[in-house]
Structure 1
Amino acid sequence: MAMNVGNASGDEADVMVEMNTTPLIDVMLVLLIMLIVTIPIQTHAVKLDMPVNKPSTPPEPPEVVELQVDFDGTVLWNGNVVSSMGQLNGYLNTVAAQPKQPEIHIRPHKLVKYEYVAKVMSATQRLGLKKMGLINDSSIGG
């Protein structure tokens, strides 16, 4: 509501003729909120015929050959001692001839000379084996 505070002399000649718009704005906001609440929510949905996905079978884990190189250069093929490089080459030839080559995991002892590990790696690479990796396990040997 508007209120005229008049001047200090007590003269009532100046009357405020403006309309108070605050209640009008309040009523308009209430009506706007009621309108927004009562309008139904429009859902826009598109029907699509999607193909049904058949769950794929998990791939079978690859065959793994463990080659351990001990600190003195002794090579172990899946835990069995290999007596010579000729015997190791025979094992590697057998594995390389398979249609699905296994993974070769070479686990060198932490105190082994690099020379022994390099010989095993070069024999593996020379015979055409593609899946070869070095496994570092600090708990072995020590």
Structure 2
Amino acid sequence: MAVNLGSNGGDDLVENAEINITPFIDVILVLMIIFMVAAPLSTVGVPVELPTSSAPQQPRPDKPVYVSIKSDLSVTLGEDAVARPNLGTALDDATKGNKDERIFLRADKGVPYGELMQVMNLLRSAGYLKVGLVGLEETSGGAQP
């Protein structure tokens, strides 16, 4: 180990103007991981109050197709409002014509049963026979009355 104890009175240290970007890269990587985890959780932003269900949870597909019936009886495909007569063509565009793809039907718990059946009939007449009903999981042990 050598030490320079020069007595020349000047400052021998050279200023380093480079920025250390390693902490910046670490922060960016952490933010990227947070967004990669949070993005799939925010797939559908249509506010619908779902009823609860005690059925076991099924595996979720990569890109599910949601048809929602809101409390005002309007129908949405994903997050876009769709007129009921145009639901079949909008589904064909969303599924690229694949009639075997499962359609997830969400309905507000205030929607009358007849309205739900009308939308299911529209799905069936469009050729989509694989329909899954979406509900919230029940948190208590027993069924509610």
**TM-score (norm: length of structure 1):** 0.46
Higher relative contact order (Cα pairs below 8 Å, separated by 6+ residues): 2
* Structure with bigger gyration radius: 1
